[in-house]
Structure 1
Amino acid sequence: MSDIKRIESGPRMSQAVVHNGTIYLAGQVGKPGESVTEQTKEVLAQVDRLLAECGSDKTRILSAQIWLADMADFPQMNAVWDAWVPAGHAPSRATGESALATPDYKVEIIVVAAQN
């Protein structure tokens, strides 16, 4: 039976869970009130940090779910995303609009990745 490793666990959730070589990240959000561009940059920096802590990196992302508070922000979020994803390593991805935890959040990204 495989061990389950939990990263930055709290009473409600873990920021990352690793099982059988797969990394599951919790939804990552940026600083409330910032622009969608700044929040996306912060979120992707958190994804980089968590993946590194789990023994992986953004070239190993299998899938991403992106939630925007307003689909009008899609082009700005994509500009940051497209600059961040390494050429040839685009994961499967879905993007939708949703009310997030607070109105000050503009983007939330959930990632599943493989360990190195």
Structure 2
Amino acid sequence: MSIQRIGVGPRMSKAVVHGDTVYLAGQVCDKAAGKSVGEQTQEILSIIDGLLAEAGTDKSKLLMVNIWLSDISTFAEMNAVWDKWVVAGQTPGRATVEAKLAAPQFTVEIAVIAAK
């Protein structure tokens, strides 16, 4: 079975497609770095939409999502954006935890697995 890699870098690929499954690496924002959790979440979800489309799928086919917040007290702020984005009736399995992220300007990181 073939493996397709999207956004290949020296350390990781942004997405990997194997069979009918799409695996996205943890995504952080670019333009919203240092801004609010809501703004970072919005940008990350937009990035995820683009990567899923490039891989031939979309958010209605999400299987599992992992979300890391640098401060769990921002859970409701992140969820306010998430709830508007996720497809009603097609919600994935999901875990959200507090964790120290790679750099202080990042307050949210999201990784997804989706079907094609």
Same-fold status (TM-score > 0.5)? yes
* Matched residue, 1:24: 23
The one-letter amino acid of 2:28's match is: V
Q: TM-score, normalising length from structure 1? A: 0.97
* Matched residue, 2:95: 94
The one-letter amino acid of 1:45's match is: S
**Identity of matched residues, %:** 57
| CA-CA distance at 1:86 after TM superposition | 1.1
* Matched residue, 2:2: 3
Residue ranges of structure 2 left out of the alignment (5+ in a row): none
The one-letter amino acid of 1:19's match is: H
Q: For residues 29-88 of structure 1, what are the alpha-carbon distances to aligned partners after superposition, in whole Å with 9 as ceiling and x for unaligned?
A: 113201100000000000000000000000000000000000010000000000001110
- Give the Cα separation in 2 of the matches to 1:74 and 1:34: 15
Q: SS at 1:110's partner residue?
A: strand
Q: SS at 2:33's partner residue?
A: coil
* Matched residue, 2:14: 15
The one-letter amino acid of 1:17's match is: V
Q: State how many pairs are aligned.
A: 114
Q: TM-score, normalising length from structure 2? A: 0.97
| Pairwise CA RMSD | 0.5
| CA-CA distance at 1:89 after TM superposition | 0.7
Q: SS at 2:40's partner residue?
A: helix
Say whether 1:47 aligns with 2:48: yes
Residue ranges of structure 1 left out of the alignment (5+ in a row): none
Moved over 6 A (4+): none
Say whether 1:111 aligns with 2:112: yes
Q: SS at 1:72's partner residue?
A: helix
